[in-house]
Structure 1
Amino acid sequence: MSSIPLPVNLITGLLGSGKTTTLKHLIQQKPASETWGVLINEFGDIGIDAASISPQNNLDVLEVSGGCICCTAQFGLTQALQKLLQNPQLTRLLIEPTGLGHPAKLLDTLQKNPFPRPLVLHSSLCILNPQHLTPVRWQKSAVMRDLVTLSDIIVLNKTDLCSTDELTQAHQTLDLCYPPKTQRLTTTQGQVDLDLLNKPRNKAPFVLLAGLEEHTHTTQTLHQTFKSQLPNVIESWHQSASNSSALGWIFGPQQTFNRTQLRRFFADWAQALQRGKGILKTGLEWQLLNWADDQLTLEDVAWRQDSRLELIFSEVLDSTQIEMLENQLLKAFNPPPQ
């Protein structure tokens, strides 16, 4: 096992900010001579983000699902790190926590746990949508404030979707930080330069983190499988917390979906839906689905194994609501070929 410290970068941010898109853009710039390990954390059981990354040489991608690697899935984090570190050729490790996560305990784990190879933390990127950086939300979300505080570089993503006033307000909100967050950049589609990963980590500020209790409250969930009434379901699950619910399905590869009806479904549930993502077969194509901030996008993806969908709601759904949701989602199912 190599004794050379392995550079580690964190890609953090709230749900739907564009973390995985940024990660993919960085992977596209990976030098051919380097071997990267990528660890992606999914709060739900349905792995989507890792499946959306096209396989390539000198790239090891692992997924930890079913909780946050900063708390409930810490054992899975340690196992995944041990597995990735078995590759002596590894030259960099990128970690993307779930958008519901809090980086403090993750940073402690990386710095304090004895791993077979020493780890050295390089720059931590926090990906944010400027539309989320309002004074009201800044005061309300301690987790958001902690994400910013513990990061080295702030990436204001999706600037093509925000107004000049919203971008100005985002910068004004970040000006409230102590210590000041001077390393900021604006971008679209997660397009950031590879050189950001080589910047050293800032000295940790002495501040009180207010978001740990909020994070624990958000991620303490009741996890259960449920019998879905939809056709061609391989697996389904349901998680509920004090003020949120998450649902996920894996469908057989023979099932196809209608894009027009999918858009109608997401429009109908937009008020309660916090985040949606999936990989779905739509006709002859397989597409990566993303729903965030009332925007639905579909793009081609290389995955061909099965279709999968995950939805996170900002309210608790009971069995009647889940039945109604499935009935509406069923309208997006194409009938089997004759």
Structure 2
Amino acid sequence: MSHQVPTNIITGFLGVGKTTTILNLLKAKPENENWAVLVNEFGEVGIDGAMMAEGGALIKEVPGGCMCCTAGVPMSVGINVLLRQKPDRLIIEPTGLGHPKQVMKTLTSEQYTNYIDLKATIALVDPRNLSDERHLSNANFIDQLSVAEVVVGNKVDQCSAEDIDVFNDWLTDQSPAKIFHKLVKNGNLPIEVLDIERRIPNQTTSQAQSHEFHDHSDLEPVFELSPELPFVRRENKGQGHFSCGWIVGAEHSFDFDQLFSMLSDLNAERVKAVVNTDKGCYAFNVANRVVSVNQMSLEGYESRVEVIDSELLPWDQLESVLLELCGLR
């Protein structure tokens, strides 16, 4: 490569709208540019890559929380694969349960000096979470905001005036001040924000940061489905959270209405799914028990469901319900 690729880290806690924001940025990118996205998910089955498949970008996934591990080998492998495609821009989405500091350290290491031009790190935050002690006491949440030069308050349409005041007061208290901030809805981030230069050196992360190793998944693992084994299930745990994901063969279709109802009632911190239904292929996104749905044009794609919560949920019971909804029980 003869030039450095402009690169942004887009971070934020679970359910804040990172994937939606990246999808909007992909829609706004210049037509003559090829962008690449490296996606890290805490879950094992990989949902975001499917959601971004229609965005016209090169996509690589690092499932299982690996990108926040100190070794960072899966991340480096994914970056190298994407850089070989000579993209015009690289966007990296770490898991919402990860610390971005190690990602920054890798991207600014000697290994990538000649290949990556790391721009400002962008942190998304739901302003309502700045009044939630569960978030304010979480080292990941604190560090994601502290290392970012750009902070975007997303989901402003769901916030009260008091939430906005808390967000603005928080910004006023930041030292050094954030380079840029904005309140948006539906992840509609101005594309120009990607070109804001990084502040060097980056702010240090919280001393409370602790690291937990996850079981390493292979980069983009292949799941073998067959008539004898029409679905697979994978679990992960770490950073005080648990996840369980299912992949169901493309030949099986879920009942849309019953699935929507089940996801609306499911008391989990985070749910993502890309599912074949009797009404077509849809992406389901659940945060704060609010379900959003977008139709997809994917064909022949396995259905994928991922559930994350800070409590260990009854996975066997949930699995029985899911399999019943697609006719496997």
CA contact (8 A) 1:261 1:331 kept: no
Q: Does residue 308 of the first structure (1) align with residue 293 of the second (2)?
A: no
Secondary structure, in 3 states, of the residue corresponding to 1:69? helix
* d(CA) in 2 for partners of 1:207, 1:75: 23
The match for 1:279 is: 274
Q: For residues 119-158 of structure 1, what are the structure 2 equivalents within 5 Å?
A: 119-134=116-131, 136-137=133-134, 139-158=136-155
TM-score normalised according to structure 2 size: 0.88
Q: 5+ unaligned residues in a row in structure 1: which ranges?
A: 224-230
SS in 2 for 1:32: coil
Shift of 1:127: 0.9
Change (3 A) 1:211 1:256: farther
Alpha-carbon distance in 1 for matches of 2:54, 2:71: 25
The whole-number CA distance in structure 1 between the counterparts of 2:320 and 2:256 is: 17
Match of 1:100 among 97, 108, 113: 97
- Number of aligned residues: 318
SS in 2 for 1:276: strand
The correspondence for 1:333, drawn from 301, 323, 326, is: 326
Amino acid at match of 2:15: G
> What letter matches 2:294 in structure 1?
E
| TM-score scaled by length of structure 1 | 0.86
Q: Is the 8 A contact 2:124 2:154 kept in 1?
A: yes
Any idea what SS the aligned residue of 2:187 has? Answer: coil
Instruction: Compute the displacement of 1:327 (Å).
Output: 2.8
The alignment partner of 2:269 has SS state of strand
Whole-angstrom distance in 2 between the partners of 1:268 and 1:73: 39
RMSD: 2.5
Whether contact under 8 Å (1:287, 1:301) holds in the other structure is yes
Hey, what's the Cα distance between the residues in 1 that align with 2:126 and 2:302?
Answer: 30
Q: 1:139 to 1:100 in 2, by over 3 A?
A: closer
CA contact (8 A) 1:85 1:117 kept: no
Matches within 5 A, 1:226-241: 233-241=230-238
Contact 2:42 2:236 survives alignment (8 Å) = no
Distance of aligned partners of 1:301 and 1:113 in 2 relative to their CA distance in 1, 3 Å threshold: farther
**Shift of the alpha carbon at 1:154?**
0.8
Rounded to whole Å, the distance in 1 between the matches of 2:15 and 2:229 is 28
Aligned in 2, Cα 1:160/1:332: closer, same or farther, shift over 3 Å? farther
Amino acid at match of 1:79: V
CA distance in structure 2 between the aligned counterparts of 1:335 and 1:41, rounded to whole angstroms: 30
Q: Judging changes above 3 Å, is the alpha-carbon distance between structure 1 residues 109 and 323 closer, same or farther for their aligned structure 2 residues? A: same
Q: Are the equivalent residues in 1 in contact too, given 2:66–2:214 (CA < 8 A)?
A: no
Aligned counterparts of 1:41 and 1:73: Cα–Cα separation in 2: 15
- Partner residue of 2:183 out of 177, 186, 191: 186
Asked if the contact 1:6/1:118 (under 8 Å) is kept, the reply is yes
What are structure 2's unaligned runs of at least 5 residues? 218-227
| Structure 1 residues 259 and 168: alpha-carbon distance in aligned structure 2, compared to 1, 3 A threshold | farther
User: What does residue 15 of structure 1 align with?
Assistant: 14
1:67 aligned onto 2:62: no
**Which residue pairs with 2:77 in the alignment?**
79
State the Cα distance separating 1:176 from its structure 2 match.
Answer: 2.9
- Whichever residue aligns with residue 77 of structure 1, its letter is M
Residue 151 of structure 1, CA deviation: 0.7
Moved more, 79-88 or 99-108: 79-88
Percent sequence identity over matched residues? 30
Alignment of 1:289-308 (within 5 A): 289-304=284-299, 305-308=301-304
Match of 2:222 in 1: none
Shift of 1:324: 2.0
CA drift of 1:175 comes to: 2.9
Q: CA deviation at 1:48?
A: 1.1
The verdict on how the C-alpha distance between 1:30 and 1:313 changes in structure 2, with shifts beyond 3 A counting, is same
SS in 1 for 2:120: strand
Aligned to 1:322: 315
On the 8 A contact 2:53/2:59 being kept in 1, the answer is no
- Secondary structure of the structure 2 residue equivalent to 1:133: helix
Please state if 1:255 is matched with 2:267: no
- 1:268, CA displacement in angstroms? 3.6
